[in-house]
Amino acid sequence: MPNPAPHTVPKGAPQPKRQVAMFVANNLVSDRRVIREAATVAAAGFAVTVHAIAQRREKLPTTEQHPDGFTIVRHRLGLIPPVLPLHPRLLALLIHPFWCVLALTVAVARKVRIPLAGAALLAIRWTSWATLAARASQSAQILHAHDLSGALPALATLRTNSAATLLYDSHEVFLESGRWAKSPAFIRRILANRFEQPALKRAAALIAVNPQVIEELAKRYEIPERQVVTYNCPPAWNPEPRGTELRAAIGVDAAAQVVLYHGGFSAHRGLEELLKAKRDPRLASAHLVFLGYGPLESTLRAAAADPAYGGRVHVLNAVAPEVLDRWVSGADVGMCTVLPSTLNHRISTPNKLFESIGAGVPVIASDFTTMRDIVLGDPDGPLGAVCDPTSPQEVATAIHSVLSMSPSDRTALRARCIRAAAARWNWEVQSARLTDLYRSLPLYGDLDPA
| Helix boundaries (H) for 112-210 | 117-135, 147-160, 178-181, 185-191, 197-202
How large is the C-alpha radius of gyration of the chain? 24
pLDDT single digits (tens) 384-417: 999 999 999 999 999 999 999 999 999 999 999 9
Within 8 A by CB and 6+ apart from 70, the residues are 38, 39, 41, 42, 48, 49, 50
Q: Which of 357, 350, 332 is nearest to 236 (CA)?
A: 357
What's the pLDDT score for residue 118? 67
Bond into 382 cis (ω within 30): no
- pLDDT of 208 > 90? The answer is yes
- pLDDT of 40 > 90? The answer is yes
What span, in angstroms and rounded, lies between the C-alpha atoms of 365 and 369? 11
Q: Which of 171, 266, 150, 152 is nearest to 213 (CA)?
A: 171
What's the pLDDT score for residue 447? 44
What are the structural domains, with CATH classification, of the chain? 19-233+429-440 (3.40.50.2000), 245-425 (3.40.50.2000)
What's the pLDDT score for residue 131? 87
Which 3 state secondary structure label does DSSP give 247?
helix
113, 136 contact by CB (below 8 A): no
Sign of the dihedral through C-alpha 175, 179, 182, 185: negative
What's the pLDDT score for residue 4? 39
Over range 52-57, report the average pLDDT.
Answer: 87
What's the pLDDT score for residue 103? 60
pLDDT single digits (tens) 282-306: 999 999 999 999 999 999 999 999 9
Which 3 state secondary structure label does DSSP give 151?
helix
Distance of CA 76 to the CA centre of its chain: 21
Q: What does DSSP assign to residue 17?
A: P
Over range 1-22, report the average pLDDT.
Answer: 64
375, 365 contact by CB (below 8 A): yes
Over range 21-35, report the average pLDDT.
Answer: 95
258, 332 contact by CB (below 8 A): yes
What's the pLDDT score for residue 449? 39
Over range 243-254, report the average pLDDT.
Answer: 97
What span, in angstroms and rounded, lies between the C-alpha atoms of 93 and 112? 30
Looking at the chain, the number of H-run helices and the number of E-run strands are: 18, 14
- pLDDT of 6 > 70? The answer is no
What's the pLDDT score for residue 3? 39
Lowest-pLDDT range of 43-57, 109-123, 343-357, 361-375: 109-123
Lowest-pLDDT range of 109-118, 151-160, 417-426: 109-118
- Residue 189's CB: how many other CB atoms inside 10 A? 11
Over range 218-237, report the average pLDDT.
Answer: 97
- In the chain, the percentage of residues whose pLDDT exceeds 90 is 77
316, 249 contact by CB (below 8 A): yes
pLDDT single digits (tens) 249-284: 999 999 999 999 999 999 999 999 999 999 999 999
CA distances from 284 to 200, 280, 294, 364, 399 (A): 51, 7, 26, 18, 12
Bond into 4 cis (ω within 30): no
pLDDT single digits (tens) 62-97: 999 999 999 999 998 766 667 666 566 666 666 667
Q: Which of 303, 311, 365 is nearest to 333 (CA)?
A: 365
